[in-house]
Amino acid sequence: MSKPKVFEKPTGVKDYLPEAAAKLRRIEYRVMQCMERWGYREIITPTLEYYDTVGVASSTEDKKLFKLLDRNGTTLVMRSDMTAPIARVASSLLKEHPFPLRLSYQANVFRAFEAEAGRDAEFFQTGVELIGDASSEADAEVIALAIACLQAAGVQQFKIALGHVGFLNGLFQETLQQRQDAQTALKACLLSRDHVGYRETIKSLGLPREMQQELEGILRLRGGEEICRQARQVTKDPVAQHAIAHLCEIWDVLEAYGVSEHVLIDLTMIGDFSYYTGMTFEGYAADMGFPVCSGGRYDNLLAQFGRPAPATGFALKTNRILEVIGKSKAEEAPQRVLIVYTEHHRAAALAKAREYRSREGFIAETRLLADGQQGLNAVRQADGALQVHGSRYCDIISFTE
Amino acid sequence: MSKPKVFEKPTGVKDYLPEAAAKLRRIEYRVMQCMERWGYREIITPTLEYYDTVGVASSTEDKKLFKLLDRNGTTLVMRSDMTAPIARVASSLLKEHPFPLRLSYQANVFRAFEAEAGRDAEFFQTGVELIGDASSEADAEVIALAIACLQAAGVQQFKIALGHVGFLNGLFQETLQQRQDAQTALKACLLSRDHVGYRETIKSLGLPREMQQELEGILRLRGGEEICRQARQVTKDPVAQHAIAHLCEIWDVLEAYGVSEHVLIDLTMIGDFSYYTGMTFEGYAADMGFPVCSGGRYDNLLAQFGRPAPATGFALKTNRILEVIGKSKAEEAPQRVLIVYTEHHRAAALAKAREYRSREGFIAETRLLADGQQGLNAVRQADGALQVHGSRYCDIISFTE
């Protein structure tokens, strides 16, 4: 193994230069403000957690966890999501707080580098957890909030794909009972959205024609409210039927919120977290192949921390939203003023800088001129800005003889 | 080693519940805004860095670094400060950007648990680096900005202690040449502000009376501008003389900024980072025994990353400022409204919630009543607030029959 070069950083992590950092912070700020207005209160948890508690509960594959040892030889992990840490806090420091509990977070999370392109080892999330409410009303609230947050972040075009883990579990249990391998193979195809592979796997199973059609038919179960009706015909399994009924209730609430136009029911969707127990959803922005948000219901996680309770929530992938927004035009930037001065006029120049810095929308930089220097070489740009040494200013104010 | 309990978290790390988290974020937001107005632009660097580059340059003791291995067996560290990562970026991604370069950050940094009480393993910093300017003007700028940031954060009473590593280095070189052990022992006393130990160490050295007085005398070198004059008499060493001259220049600029009342020259001060090469400073809030900010000049660090340049900067210890501010009265909180409704009135209730959420200063939570339930048990508090299940609201709006 060779020594890293001085300018290198580890695989899968990024630097955000000023323009990108400003956009990322603006997204975070607006999203957190939106969550606050819906009654969600931010909590901050540590980057490091115990492997045996939060690490195990987090549902991230073991090999994807960043692990280290503390001085007592206990294994720590760098958090791989925020849902498990928040479940820990809800069950300990906040255990006396009555339900429902509405909590939000902005945090960086860590998953060890994966071979696939585009996967980051450290990424930024903003999200909420609504704990202690098992109703479809609660599920709809977090979906409607996810939509409001995407809009607050400036994502213009997006769709929320809404599914339910109970539908596929029930359907597969009905059609492929005792054939766990086949169930696993089909779910893997759906998770990677490999519909060709899904159809081929079904053919290879040697199922009765009717059952084969039933399993193939679900690939068409994507759309609006009508999907709920259609899905009811597909399966008689009670778990699947219950899932469909729950999705229909969620849909009704989303209509009352006036946001169902953004939602697409997709019964082939599988959430990427093993702790999901009910509805799951993903948000897709136009032109992006990967979700910008994901969420779902997880009714069994809190019991692992000693305070059994239903819960639902989501996370926005803030740095992916940056990739969507980053292409759009920058918002109105503050006016940047450069104040140059000779030593003799220092106090007046610094007072002027102070005045600008106290005004909304202004930035002031100061520069002492060298002895005998009477000004700076500023180059007027086509858009009127003044350029000095690669920096742009709207105005240069001189305090010189 | 026993397995951790489900509710435990690693030693030295914290959860911030909503009230503390809101205050911490408010401090960060205001400080970052202040830095922006002075022309500093935020950058974000990764939590993980290579040990051989940033880890070694960071000046944190090796045993205090959190280390882990990546898949290739290369040692990574969780960043222990932000100065070294920013030096890396200034020398790589920003290497074409002309000087001066003004950068800011808000970040969590990590230092492995120390036995002493009150030391966190993870803590929050906001700070700036002014790179490519060797002048005392630049040093004064970052000190004046630190003062503006402390004020923006809401710290009412504080003092900045200002020193220079060159003064003690020069003085000790003059008086204790060849006696490195004695120099180290005396510096250790000053670092821990152990003046009794300092005096005793001097006595034990068997120095000529005059030299002994000279070394003891520096303990009195704390105060305003007059200290510069007094210090000039103490030593003839050119390094120490140069340090004093530089401090006097900084003082003049701080007077022009109108902030010298907050500054105390303290020539016994030793910065806690080995990379400091010039002036160093620490900010102390009233009633707090530990600094809430620290900074200094580090003219040799960037050369380690291949772009030699002078630099100066500071970091505010945001979570310590929270401890100062946390005692003060909370600022005006948004108005929290609870909207309760029966299923029949859902659309009207959710529209009302939407209306509140779009108004500045309002938070709206919603709650569906159970079948047959006509309202909630709200208890009017002494201050007029309505309490429901441990949550407080300024108003409860009902959409029921």
CATH of the domain at B84: 3.30.930.10
In 3D, which of A152, A119, A146 has the Cα closest to residue A316?
A146
- Residue A8 domain-assigned (yes or no): no
- Residue A12 domain-assigned (yes or no): no
Q: A284 and chain B: CB distance < 8 Å anywhere?
A: no
Residues A174 and A145 in one domain: yes
pLDDT digits (tens, 9 = 90+) for B341-383: 999 999 999 999 999 999 999 999 999 998 888 778 888 988 8
- As given in the structure block, the two tokens for residue A218 are 């679900």
Question: Which of B43-47, B100-104, B333-337 has the least mean pLDDT?
Answer: B333-337
> For the complex shown, is ipTM > 0.90?
yes
The SS3 assignment for A281 reads strand
The SS3 assignment for A49 reads strand
Sorted by sequence, the CB contacts under 8 Å of residue B225 that are 6+ apart come out as: B248, B251, B260, B265
- Whose tokens are 């820990």? That residue is A88
In 3D, which of B38, B51, B221 has the Cα closest to residue B140?
B38
Residues B210 and B340 in one domain: no
- Residue A300 domain-assigned (yes or no): yes
- As given in the structure block, the two tokens for residue A364 are 């002031």
Please identify among residues 76-105 of chain A the ones whose CB lies closer than 8 Å to any CB of chain B: 76, 78, 88-89, 91-94, 97-100, 102-103
Among all residues of chain B, which has the CA nearest to that of A334?
A: B37
- pLDDT band at residue A116 under the 50/70/90 scheme: very low
- pLDDT band at residue A150 under the 50/70/90 scheme: very high
pLDDT digits (tens, 9 = 90+) for A300-329: 999 999 999 999 999 999 999 999 887 666
Across B67-90, b (16+ Cβ under 10 Å) vs e yields: ebebeeebebbbbbbbbbbbbbbb
Interface test with B, best of A103, A322, A350 (most B CBs within 10 A): A350
pLDDT of residue B249: 95
| Average pLDDT of the residues of chain B | 91
pLDDT digits (tens, 9 = 90+) for B89-119: 999 999 999 999 999 999 999 998 664 445 7
Residues A189 and A47 in one domain: yes
Residues A201 and A249 in one domain: yes
Residues B322 and B340 in one domain: no
Contacts with A74 from chain B: Cβ below 8 Å: 1, 4, 10
pLDDT of residue A273: 67
Q: Which of B306, B327, B348 is the last residue of a domain?
A: B327
Contacts with B25 from chain A: Cβ below 8 Å: 32, 42
Residues B152 and B228 in one domain: yes
Tell me if A253 and B21 make a contact (CB, 8 A cut-off): no
Q: Which of B283, B305, B327 is the last residue of a domain?
A: B327
Residues A287 and A393 in one domain: no
Q: Reply yes or no on whether the pLDDT at B289 is more than 80.
A: no
Residues B344 and B223 in one domain: no
Q: Reply yes or no on whether the pLDDT at B218 is more than 70.
A: yes
Question: Which of A126-130, A136-140, A380-384 has the least mean pLDDT?
Answer: A380-384
Q: B33 and chain A: CB distance < 8 Å anywhere?
A: no
- What's the mean pLDDT in B211-219? 88
Q: Which of A327, A345, A364 is the last residue of a domain?
A: A327
pLDDT of residue A269: 86
Query: What percentage of chain A exceeds 70 in pLDDT?
Result: 96
Contacts with B1 from chain A: Cβ below 8 Å: 72-74
Residues A217 and A340 in one domain: no
Considering its fold, how many domains does chain B have in total?
Answer: 2
Contacts with A43 from chain B: Cβ below 8 Å: 15-18, 21
- Residue A13 domain-assigned (yes or no): no
- Residue A101 domain-assigned (yes or no): yes
- Residue A2 domain-assigned (yes or no): no
Q: A334 and chain B: CB distance < 8 Å anywhere?
A: yes
pLDDT of residue B263: 96
Q: Reply yes or no on whether the pLDDT at B211 is more than 60.
A: yes
pLDDT digits (tens, 9 = 90+) for B131-190: 999 999 999 999 999 999 999 999 989 999 999 999 999 988 888 888 889 998 998 898
Tell me if B346 and A256 make a contact (CB, 8 A cut-off): yes
- What's the mean pLDDT in A22-30? 95
Give the CATH number for residue A343: 3.40.50
Question: DSSP secondary-structure letter at A2?
Answer: P
- Residue B2 domain-assigned (yes or no): no
pLDDT digits (tens, 9 = 90+) for A224-241: 889 988 888 888 899 999
> What is the side-by-side order of every strand in the sheet holding A335-341?
A362-368, A335-341, A395-399
| Average pLDDT of the residues of chain A | 91
Tell me if A7 and B91 make a contact (CB, 8 A cut-off): yes
- Residue B12 domain-assigned (yes or no): no
Interface test with A, best of B1, B17, B136, B360 (most A CBs within 10 A): B17
> What's the per-residue H, E or C state across chain B?
CCCCCCCCCCCCCCCECHHHHHHHHHHHHHHHHHHHHCCCEECECCCEEEHHHHHHHCCCCHHHCCEEECCCCCEEEECCCCHHHHHHHHHCCCCCCCCCEEEEEEEEEECCCCCCCCCCCEEEEEEEEEECCCCHHHHHHHHHHHHHHHHHHCCCCEEEEEEEHHHHHHHHHHHCCCCHHHHHHHHHHHHCCCHHHHHHHHHHCCCCHHHHHHHHHHHHCEECCHHHHHHHHHCCCHHHHHHHHHHHHHHHHHHHHCCHHHEEEECCCCCCCCCCCCEEEEEEECCCCCCCEEEEECCCCHHHHCCCCCEEEEEEEHHHHHHHHCCCCCCCCCEEEEEEECHHHHHHHHHHHHHHHCCCCEEEEEEECCCCCCCCCCEECCCCCEEECCEEECEEEEECC
Tell me if A368 and B137 make a contact (CB, 8 A cut-off): yes
Residues A355 and A312 in one domain: no
Residues B149 and B57 in one domain: yes
Q: What is the largest CA-CA distance in chain B?
A: 95
Do A322 and A27 form a contact (C-beta atoms < 8 A)? yes
Residue A385 domain boundaries: 335-399
Residues B276 and B181 in one domain: yes
